[in-house]
């Protein structure tokens, strides 16, 4: 039920996404991620429009890791940071990381080669219901997304919310 | 390290197809993150002093990204930026599929009306270009390289009326509120327009009229345009 | 066989050249050189030209081994250029045309450069960079006309170099540009200067005012040497020129570049243009100082083409002009394509009086 996306710039590397809802152990998951028992980024799906948004963030994270210019300490935290429209790190974690009160989570795993064991391990740890990626829109809060990314109506009208969000993410370093 | 940094993208691009080589960048089309993407690579120009080259290349990459986002925020169609690599100076942009350049569109339209040449069918387009440029200038974005090749027409529905205008190639752009800069922007377009499409003076006039009617600050800009035109004429040869 | 004599004197060079069907028979020239720190003024330049014009004319005929009877047509520079010197040469050209009973042809100075460049280099259909003290243009041929795709929106590149030379008192002998080029070879530190490219156009006035303001201060504080400034100025100006040339090439789909005009004999400019051409698989054509710098043969060559296509200038029409006619949509017709455009009703030898 997971979806995998190759990163064309980094042959062999893929981004794998798993979506869970009705999660009953968010606090435990968050601790495991911070402690390194879960080697994936755990993201609150409320601020996500589309999986593409996450893949764009993951690609940028791997790029910055490769050139040694990450702004945060790990690849997984860098993915979370890259999703944010601003350069404020703690703000990014607040908006895109999971909190103990959340009941849905998107697991983002950047892997080289066979990641099936890692995926199985993570699935094991999540006490919730895995759902297909297609359900992501039902979990997003479009009003909050517009507000957070400061998407203007004329901008959204032009090419949709996803394009506006992605462009803001990709250009934030120089704005 | 520097070498390794640049390897990733250049290796990727080496497999892609070069669409065109402009004056400062090679343009590729490839699939990136699952989407058809235009990649603009500002490769080092060996004729330039390395310090000048690095400065220009970096500045232009940054300016392009900035102006695109500024235009989009104002609802002026420009391609979405997916990713920027500031080490190899590559911008990954939305591929505006099913589009033609305004240049080709004008040429084709004139070709069709060949036996009885008329510019009338192109007037709505000229007016639209004027309106879009007025909005861009009202946002204080100066494009820096306006030509009919740097404007795309995208089909967004049925029929000609549904073509939307997309501005591209913001490498020489910058942010400025000065009427002088905007006037020169129009001057550059005027010359490119009339040298690329001979005998279209009335069409460009239409464009300017529409610009003047749409922009809140147009009178100062048009005044500067007239000044810049005159400057060319009065250039002194005296050493 | 058609023999044409050309009179050029639009700026501080006076040149008279003779061309016979593409062959340069003679091309003598003199330059009015001013002291360091000074430019050339129209009236003084005209005085210089008046003083030497007959000597140069005699040289031209002698070196060619011809007499006035061998000349078929008299060409002169109509403009653009400085009024007084232009007038001096036009006067001489008109006089000899009447004395010898030969038709007169008024030639556009820019076309002279381009046609001479094409003759010497055999470039087929190039994008032309025309760079001199009074002009900076990127010209390409499209739809049966030379069209100006790019140009300076303020001063010419040669003017920028000359005025910089005056600021730091570089000698005008043989020319400020030549001396800057030699000094630049010994410079190494790159000093950042304004860089202003607008599409296919350039602007040099910002660079000039920056360097006018900063040069002597920088030299006084030993921040850089005069050689470094020459080097940096050339690197900056020429990068801009190569960039707009390349942009015009990309725009027109052209694969040839021809550099003409006085600044065009600068070897560093040629080198940079060559690197750009190599990168795009294009070909560079350039000439040396004999033909790059204003000369009489180039006027003779353009005159030869016009004369052969049936164009002559009536005596009452043989005016001169200092300025460009009608920017921004300036059009320069290519001589041998003009026939259908301009020759209606005009017959060759219209003015010819049997000798």
The residue whose two tokens read 């479009």 is A142
> How many Å apart are CA C79 and CA C67, to the nearest integer?
27
Contacts of B75 in chain A (CB under 8 A): 152, 154-155, 157-158
Count of other CB atoms within 10 angstroms of residue C339: 16
- What CATH number has the domain bearing residue A43? 3.30.2380.10
> Coil, strand, or helix at residue C53?
helix
Beta-carbon contacts of B25 under 8 Å, excluding residues fewer than 6 positions away, are B40, B41, B42, B43, B171
Of the listed ranges A4-18, B154-168, C112-126, the one predicted with least confidence:
B154-168
The answer to whether C272 and C264 are in contact (CB under 8 A) is no
pLDDT of residue C140: 86
The more confidently predicted of residues B11 and C285 is C285
> How many Å apart are CA C102 and CA C93, to the nearest integer?
10
pLDDT of residue B162: 61
DSSP C61-118: HHHHT--GGG--EEEEEEESS-HHHHHHHHHHHHHHHHHHT--EEEEEHHHHHHHHHH
Is the CB of residue B86 less than 8 Å away from at least one CB of chain A? yes
Q: Which of B20, B22, B46, B47 to probe by mutation at the C interface, max C CB count within 10 Å?
A: B47
Quick one: chain A helix, strand, coil %, rounded to 5?
50, 15, 30
Q: Which of C194, C232, C270, C327 to probe by mutation at the B interface, max B CB count within 10 Å?
A: C327
CB-based contact B87 A67, cutoff 8 Å = yes
The residue length of chain C stands at 355
Of the listed ranges A130-139, B48-57, B105-114, C232-241, the one predicted with least confidence:
B105-114
Q: How many domains does chain A have?
A: 1
pLDDT tens per residue, range C78-108: 998 999 999 999 999 999 999 999 999 999 9
User: Which among C134, C149, C236 has the least Cβ separation from residue B237?
Assistant: C134
> Coil, strand, or helix at residue C139?
strand
Q: Inform me whether the pLDDT recorded for C349 exceeds 80.
A: no
Rounded to a whole number, what is the distance in Å from the CA of B158 to chain C's nearest CA?
A: 30
Nearest residue on chain C to B49, judged by CA atoms? C235
Q: What is the mean pLDDT of residues A70-75?
A: 96
The answer to whether C224 and C218 are in contact (CB under 8 A) is yes
> How many Å apart are CA C73 and CA C299, to the nearest integer?
11
Q: Inform me whether the pLDDT recorded for C346 exceeds 50.
A: no
- H helix intervals, chain C: 42-64, 83-100, 109-121, 157-167, 176-185, 205-220, 226-252, 267-280, 289-292, 296-308, 339-342
> How many Å apart are CA A61 and CA A74, to the nearest integer?
9
The answer to whether B136 and B169 are in contact (CB under 8 A) is no
The answer to whether A153 and B71 are in contact (CB under 8 A) is no
**What percent of chain A is modeled with pLDDT above 70?**
100
Helix (H) or strand (E) holding C17: strand C13-20
pLDDT of residue B157: 61
Contacts of B9 in chain A (CB under 8 A): 9
> How many Å apart are CA B141 and CA B170, to the nearest integer?
10
Q: What is the dihedral of CA B92, B97, B103, B109, to 10 degrees?
A: 180
CB-based contact A173 B86, cutoff 8 Å = yes
Nearest residue on chain B to A13, judged by CA atoms? B33
The answer to whether B143 and B174 are in contact (CB under 8 A) is no
Domain extent for A26: 3-171
pLDDT tens per residue, range C246-297: 999 999 889 999 999 999 999 999 999 999 999 999 999 999 999 999 999 9
The interface predicted TM-score (ipTM) is 0.96
HEC string for chain B: CHHHHHHHHHHHHHCCEEEEECCCCEEEEEEECCEEEEEEECCCCCCCCHHHHHHHHHHHHHHHHHHHHHHHHCCCCCCCEEEEECCCCEEEEECCCCEEEHHHHHHHHHHHCCCCCCCHHHHHHHHHHHHHHHHHHHCCEECCCCCHHHEEEEECCCCHHHEEEEECCCCCCEECCCHHHHHHHHHHHHHHHHHHCCCCHHHHHHHHHHHHHHCCCHHHHHHHHHHHHHHHHCCCCCC
Q: Inform me whether the pLDDT recorded for B234 exceeds 90.
A: no
Give the domains, in start order, of chain C with CATH numbers: 3-114+291-337 (3.30.420.40), 125-289 (3.30.420.40)
Q: What is the mean pLDDT of residues A1-18?
A: 94
**Alpha-carbon distance values, B24 to A72, B231, C83, C247, C279 (Å):** 34, 28, 40, 8, 11
Helix (H) or strand (E) holding A136: helix A136-139
The more confidently predicted of residues C252 and C226 is C226
Closest Cα partner for C89 from C210, C5, C190?
C5
* DSSP strand pairing (C256-260 vs B17-21): unpaired
The residue length of chain A stands at 175
* φ, ψ for residue C109, nearest 5 deg: -55, -45
Contacts of B34 in chain A (CB under 8 A): 5, 52, 55
The answer to whether C9 and C293 are in contact (CB under 8 A) is no
User: Which among B22, B55, B188 has the least Cβ separation from residue C198?
Assistant: B188
> How many Å apart are CA B213 and CA C315, to the nearest integer?
49
The answer to whether C23 and C33 are in contact (CB under 8 A) is no
Confidence band (pLDDT; 50, 70, 90) for C157?
very high
pLDDT of residue B42: 96
Q: How many CA atoms lie within 13 A of A127 on its CB side?
A: 8
Q: Catalytic pick from B85, B95, B140, B145? A: B145
- Cβ burial, residue C303 (10 Å; 0-12/13-18/19+): buried
Is B145 labeled as catalytic in the residue annotation? yes
> How many Å apart are CA A1 and CA A52, to the nearest integer?
17
CA-angle at B41, arms to B36 and B45, nearest 5°: 160
Q: What is the mean pLDDT of residues B23-43?
A: 95
User: Which among B32, B62, B75 has the least Cβ separation from residue A152?
Assistant: B75
Confidence band (pLDDT; 50, 70, 90) for C354?
very low
- Cβ burial, residue A132 (10 Å; 0-12/13-18/19+): exposed
User: Which among B45, B51, B190 has the least Cβ separation from residue C328?
Assistant: B190
Q: What is the dihedral of CA B231, C327, C163, C198, to 10 degrees?
A: 80
Q: Inform me whether the pLDDT recorded for C345 exceeds 50.
A: no
Contacts of C329 in chain B (CB under 8 A): 191, 194-195, 201
The answer to whether C112 and C121 are in contact (CB under 8 A) is no
For the range C139-143, what are the long-range contacts, defined as Cβ-Cβ under 8 Å and sequence gap of 24 or more?
C139/C110, C139/C114, C139/C332, C140/C248, C140/C252, C140/C254, C141/C334, C142/B195, C142/B198, C142/C252, C143/B198
Contacts of A63 in chain B (CB under 8 A): 8, 83, 85
Q: Inform me whether the pLDDT recorded for A172 exceeds 80.
A: yes
CB-based contact B82 A174, cutoff 8 Å = no
List the structure tokens of B238: 């005296």
- C328: preceding bond cis by omega (within 30 degrees): yes
> Coil, strand, or helix at residue C149?
strand
Q: Facing residues of A33 across strands?
A: none
Rounded to a whole number, what is the distance in Å from the CA of A28 to chain B's nearest CA?
A: 32
Count of other CB atoms within 10 angstroms of residue A81: 26
Closest Cα partner for B38 from B71, B75, B64, B74?
B64
């Amino acid at each position: 039920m997971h979806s995998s996306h190759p990163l064309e710039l980094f042959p062999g590397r893929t981004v794998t996404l798993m979506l869970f809802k009705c999660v009953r152990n968010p606090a435990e998951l968050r601790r495991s991620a911070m402690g390194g028992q879960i080697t994936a980024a755990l993201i609150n799906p409320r601020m996500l429009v589309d999986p593409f948004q996450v893949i764009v963030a993951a690609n940028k994270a791997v790029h910055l890791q490769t050139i040694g210019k990450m702004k945060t300490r790990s690849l997984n935290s860098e993915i979370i940071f890259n999703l944010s429209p601003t350069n404020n790190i703690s703000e990014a974690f607040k908006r895109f990381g999971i909190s103990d009160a959340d009941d849905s989570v998107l697991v983002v795993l950047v892997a080289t080669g066979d990641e099936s064991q890692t995926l199985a391990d993570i699935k094991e740890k999540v006490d919730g219901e895995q759902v297909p990626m297609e359900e992501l829109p039902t979990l997003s809060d479009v009003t909050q997304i517009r507000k957070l990314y400061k998407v203007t109506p004329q901008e959204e009208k032009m090419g949709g919310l996803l394009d506006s969000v992605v462009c803001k993410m990709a250009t934030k370093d120089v704005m | 390290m520097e070498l390794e940094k640049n390897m990733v993208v250049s290796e990727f691009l080496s497999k892609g197809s070069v669409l065109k080589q402009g004056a400062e960048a090679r343009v590729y089309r490839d699939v990136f993150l699952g989407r058809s993407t235009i990649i603009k690579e500002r490769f080092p120009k060996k004729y330039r002093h390395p310090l000048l080259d690095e400065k220009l290349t970096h500045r232009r990459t940054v300016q392009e990204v900035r102006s695109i986002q500024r235009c989009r925020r104002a609802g002026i169609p420009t391609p979405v930026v997916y990713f920027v690599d500031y080490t190899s100076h590559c911008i990954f942009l939305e591929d505006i599929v099913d589009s033609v350049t305004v240049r080709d569109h004008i040429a084709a339209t004139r070709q069709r009306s060949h036996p009885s040449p008329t510019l009338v069918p192109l007037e709505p387009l000229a007016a639209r270009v004027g309106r879009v440029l007025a909005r861009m200038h009202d946002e204080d974005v100066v494009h820096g390289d306006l030509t009919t090749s740097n404007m795309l027409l995208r089909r967004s529905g049925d029929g000609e009326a549904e073509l939307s205008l997309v501005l591209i190639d913001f490498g020489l752009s910058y942010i400025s509120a000065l009427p002088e800069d905007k006037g020169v922007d129009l001057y550059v377009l005027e010359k490119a327009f009339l040298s690329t499409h001979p005998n279209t003076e009335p069409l460009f006039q239409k464009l300017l009229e529409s610009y003047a009617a749409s922009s809140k600050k147009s009178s100062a800009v048009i005044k500067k345009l007239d000044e810049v035109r005159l400057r060319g004429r009065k250039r002194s040869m005296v050493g | 066989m058609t023999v044409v004599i050309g009179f050029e004197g639009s700026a501080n060079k006076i040149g008279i050249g003779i061309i016979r069907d593409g062959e340069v028979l003679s091309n003598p020239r003199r330059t009015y050189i001013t002291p360091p720190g000074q430019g050339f003024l129209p009236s003084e330049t005209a005085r210089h030209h008046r003083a030497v014009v007959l000597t140069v004319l005699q040289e031209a005929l002698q070196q060619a081994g011809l007499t006035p009877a061998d000349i078929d047509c008299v060409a002169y520079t109509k403009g653009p250029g400085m009024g007084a010197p232009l007038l001096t040469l036009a006067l001489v050209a008109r006089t000899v045309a009447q004395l010898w009973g030969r038709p007169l042809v008024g030639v556009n100075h820019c076309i002279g450069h381009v046609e001479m460049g094409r003759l010497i280099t055999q470039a087929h259909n190039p994008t032309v960079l025309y760079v001199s003290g009074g002009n900076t243009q990127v010209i390409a041929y499209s739809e049966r006309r030379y069209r100006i795709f790019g140009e300076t929106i303020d001063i010419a590149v040669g003017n920028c170099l000359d005025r910089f030379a005056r600021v730091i008192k570089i000698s005008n002998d043989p020319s400020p540009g030549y001396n800057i080029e030699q000094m630049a070879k010994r410079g190494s530190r790159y000093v950042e200067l304004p860089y202003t490219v607008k599409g296919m156009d350039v602007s040099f006035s910002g660079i000039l005012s920056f360097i006018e303001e900063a040069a002597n201060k920088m030299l006084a504080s030993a921040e850089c040497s005069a050689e470094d400034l020459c080097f940096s100025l050339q690197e900056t100006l020429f990068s801009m020129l190569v960039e707009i040339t390349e942009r015009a090439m990309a725009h027109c789909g052209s694969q040839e570049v021809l550099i003409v005009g006085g600044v065009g004999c600068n070897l560093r400019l040629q080198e940079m243009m060559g690197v750009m051409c190599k990168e795009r698989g294009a070909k560079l054509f350039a000439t040396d100082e004999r033909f790059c710098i204003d000369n009489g043969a180039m006027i003779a060559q353009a005159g030869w083409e016009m004369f052969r296509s049936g164009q002559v200038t009536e005596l009452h029409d043989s005016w001169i002009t200092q300025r460009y006619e009608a920017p921004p949509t300036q059009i320069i017709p290519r001589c041998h394509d003009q026939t259908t455009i301009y020759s209606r009703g005009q017959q060759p030898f219209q003015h010819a009086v049997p000798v």
